[in-house]
Structures are given as structure tokens and as C-alpha cells.
């Protein structure tokens, strides 16, 4: 006996939800059906995949080891189905996860470049938080996810996920152009990679790492800087998307950030995804 794709999909759903009941709601099955699928999969694998934890479940050692391979099998299946669909239709669609800064400058020109390729490729955009880009491509929500990597915050990608660097830029210090602006720092929360990068940069520069104002939204951060509420470490692309009257200074101790395109190894073998990546690389290569 071998496992089925349905069992693998349900297994991943239970692992993500931490509950048979929650997975049953998501998958549209009864809790009993989910339990039966997981029991059958456990027999096939030859080990229990979950351990009871109150009303929920957690992955066993076998489950933890099996999960990345289950995800990869599902990704390969999805990639194969899309490849066949592209062969039949003659025109492929690639789903691209975007975030505000990158999407604002890249979507329109990338759309045109991909549509002008031979064969043409249609790009469909969906907003994806940069913190969730890996999950988005692993789960198949998107084929490519634009994300951000920071020099001072090392990233280790999971097996099967690759990153293509599109654009690298330094941090700069932004202050109000008006005299008398506050010198306290405005920064994202350290629950985000951006916030961790800012904290590391302040530490490297010998600055006080206590942040007076915690702001997630980039547009709001830049607006507060202009209003004299404080100063912030930002990037040139952020200032291009959110132009303000600011005093911008170099921040040589702050490292850099890179906009990257995340995809899976399986998706990366699709000709249409390669075309989409090429279009994105060309667009960002023209940004100075």
C-alpha cells in the first residue's frame, strides 16, 4: 500500500493547524474521516505521525521528519499539473506574491515584459507578507514570492526553497528636514525581520537600541519622520515609493537589504516561472 495525495494534503493541514478538528473544517471532511486518513497514512509510513496534546496534536519525531517530504511531493504534483495545463492552453499563468514597496515599482513593468515573452506568460499578483513568503511558496499559494533578506539577519531557507536576488540597497538614516526634529528612533517591531535588522544596525553603530516608537507600516514611518517625531533607518526604494521632504544621511554601519524572489525548486523548473523570474530580474536591474 502507498499513500495518496489526499492523505498527504490532510497530513499537512493537521500539522499546520495542530488539530484534527481544525483540519477537518479546512478540508471539508468530518473529524472521523481525518482521523481515519491519518491512521492509514501512519500504517503506510510505519510510525505514528502525531502525539495527542490536550485537544490538539503535535508532530511526533517521525511526523517532523516526514513533513518536509510530504510538502515537496505535493509541490511536485501541483507543478506537474500546472505544466500540463500550460501545454494544453499554450499560455501559462504565474502567481506572484508581492509586498508594497516591491510591488509598487515592479508589477506593471514585469507584467508587460512577461506578456511580451515568447511564449507569453500572464502574471497574477497577490499580496503576501514578507515574513510569510516561504510558507506561501511551499504551500502553493503563489509560485513566486517577493521577500526581503537583511545582511545583519541571516536566513536559512528550508529544503526545496530557493531565493533569487533581485535588488540590493543600503540602509540610510532619515530625519525631518525641518530643524528641531526628535532624535529618538522609529522602528518596526522586533517580531519582524526588518525590526531585527534595525536593532542589529543600531547595536553595530553604538546607538541606543531602545526604540521610542514602534511602527509596522512603512508609509506611516516615513510620515512620522517628516513630521519630526523621530528618525528611522530606511532604504532608498522605500523613499522612492513614499517621497517626503527629509534629511537623508548615509548609515554605513547598518548593512543592506536585498529584495529576493522566493520559489521552490520544483516551480523553478517551469519555463513560465523562469520567464517570470527573468522579467522581475530585468525590471529590478533598471532601478537605480
Q: In CATH terms, are 91-168+258-286 and 172-254 the same topology?
A: yes
242-267 average pLDDT score: 94
Query: Is the distance from CB of 77 to CB of 5 less than 8 angstroms?
Result: yes
Is pLDDT at 19 greater than 70 in this prediction?
A: yes
Percent with pLDDT over 70 in the chain: 99
52-59 average pLDDT score: 92
CATH of domain 172-254: 3.40.190
214-241 average pLDDT score: 95
Per-residue confidence (pLDDT) for residue 33, from 0 to 100: 95
CB atoms within 10 A of CB 3: 17
What residues pair up with 153 in beta bridges, in sequence order?
A: 150
CATH class of segment(s) 91-168+258-286: alpha beta
Domain boundaries, the chain: 5-83, 91-168+258-286, 172-254
1-6 average pLDDT score: 87
How far is the C-alpha of 49 from the C-alpha of 41, rounded, in Å? 8
pLDDT band at 92 (very low <50, low <70, confident <90, very high): confident
In the predicted model, what is the mean pLDDT of the chain? Answer: 93
Q: For the whole model, what pTM was predicted?
A: 0.73
**DSSP character for 131?**
G
How far is the C-alpha of 178 from the C-alpha of 176, rounded, in Å? 5
pLDDT digits (tens, 9 = 90+) for 143-171: 999 999 999 999 999 999 999 999 999 99
Amino acid at each position: 500500500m502507498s499513500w495518496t495525495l489526499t492523505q498527504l494534503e490532510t497530513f499537512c493541514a493537521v500539522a499546520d493547524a495542530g488539530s484534527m478538528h481544525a483540519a477537518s473544517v479546512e478540508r471539508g471532511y468530518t473529524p472521523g474521516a481525518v482521523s481515519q486518513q491519518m491512521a492509514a497514512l501512519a500504517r503506510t509510513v510505519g510510525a505514528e505521525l502525531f502525539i495527542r496534546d490536550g485537544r490538539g496534536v503535535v508532530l511526533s519525531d517521525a511526523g517532523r521528519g516526514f513533513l518536509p517530504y510530504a510538502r515537496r511531493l505535493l509541490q511536485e504534483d501541483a507543478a506537474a499539473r500546472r505544466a500540463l495545463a500550460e501545454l494544453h492552453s499554450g499560455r501559462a499563468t504565474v502567481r506572484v506574491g508581492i509586498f508594497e514597496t516591491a510591488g509598487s515599482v515592479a508589477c506593471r513593468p514585469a507584467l508587460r515584459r512577461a506578456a511580451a515573452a515568447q511564449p507569453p506568460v500572464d502574471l497574477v499578483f497577490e499580496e503576501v507578507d514578507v515574513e510569510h513568503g516561504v510558507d506561501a511558496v511551499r504551500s502553493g499559494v503563489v509560485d513566486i514570492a517577493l521577500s526581503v533578506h537583511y545582511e545583519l539577519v541571516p536566513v536559512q531557507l528550508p529544503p526545496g526553497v530557493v531565493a533569487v536576488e533581485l535588488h540590493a540597497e543600503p540602509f540610510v538614516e532619515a530625519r525631518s528636514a525641518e530643524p528641531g526634529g526628535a532624535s529618538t528612533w522609529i522602528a518596526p517591531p522586533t517580531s519582524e525581520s526588518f525590526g531585527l535588522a534595525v536593532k542589529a544596525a543600531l547595536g553595530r553603530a553604538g546607538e541606543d537600541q531602545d526604540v521610542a516608537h514602534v511602527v509596522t507600516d512603512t508609509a506611516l514611518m516615513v510620515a512620522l519622520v517628516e513630521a519630526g517625531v523621530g528618525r528611522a533607518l530606511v532604504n532608498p526604494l522605500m523613499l522612492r515609493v513614499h517621497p517626503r521632504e527629509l534629511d537623508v544621511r548615509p548609515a554605513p554601519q547598518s548593512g543592506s537589504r536585498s529584495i529576493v524572489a522566493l520559489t521552490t525548486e520544483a516551480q523553478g523548473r517551469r519555463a513560465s516561472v523562469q520567464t517570470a523570474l527573468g522579467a522581475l530580474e530585468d525590471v529590478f536591474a533598471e532601478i537605480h
